[in-house]
Structure 1
Amino acid sequence: MENCLTCILIEDEALGIEMMEDYISRRDDLTLLGTAIQLSEIECLLETSSPSIIFLDLIIPYGDQNDFNFSKFPMSSSFIVTSAIPISHFKGELPPGRIYELLKPISFKNFTMCVDKVVQKIKSS
C-alpha cells in the first residue's frame, strides 16, 4: 500500500491487544508488523523491521531474561504511549525519540486524532 506507515504494538492485556489491532486495521495508512506481550519479544520484532510508529504500554512484563532496553528502539520511530498512567506520573524508563500520549481507556476517536497528529509529523519531517 502506497504511503503506508509500519507499526508494532507492545501490549500485554488481551482485550487491549484486540482493541488496538482493530483500531490499526481500520486505518488505510497503517500496517501492523507484529505484537509483543513482553519486553523480551520486542527485539525479535525489531530484527525484521524498523517501524515508523510503536504503540507502547508503559507497564509490560519483562518475560524471558535478555538484555533488551529502550535504547534499542530505532531513533527514527515515533512512540504512542498507550497507558492508564500519564507520562507525567510515570517513574520508569521512557523510550528515546518523539513520544505521544494516548491514555486508556482509548476510544477510536482519540486513537484517530493521536495517530493523525503523528502521521502528519512524520510526513512533514
Structure 2
Amino acid sequence: MLSLTPGGAKKYVYNRKAAEAIAASGIIPTVLNALTLVDKKRKYPFAYAEAALTGETLSAVLTRFEAGMNASAVENARIEAVAQKAKRDIKAAMTAAGKRSAYASINWNWSA
C-alpha cells in the first residue's frame, strides 16, 4: 500500500468518513446526488469511492457513514463512562486492598 498502512490508517479513515457525514448532514439527498462528479470526488472522496464501487447513491453511502458514526459514538461513550468511574473509584480507595477491590468490581458490561 502506498498511501495507507494496515491498522494505523483506520483512525484516519474513520475520521475522514465522519467528517464527510457531518459535512453532508442536513443536505437533502437530491442535492447530494446531483453534485457534479468533480464536486463528489472533492467534497466526499470516501463516500464517492464507495458509491461508485457499489452503485449506491452518494446520499445512501453518507447516511450509512452517519449511522455507523453514531453507533460507534454510543459504544465509545459507554466504555469511556465505565473507564472514568473505574479510575475515580480506584483513586478514591485508600489502601492497596481497596484499590484491588475497586479494580475487580469494574463492570465493563454496564449499559445505560
Please report the TM-score for the alignment, with normalisation by the length of structure 2: 0.24
In proportion to residue count, which structure has more strand? 1
What's the TM-score, normalizing by structure 1? 0.22
Q: Which has the higher helix share?
A: 2
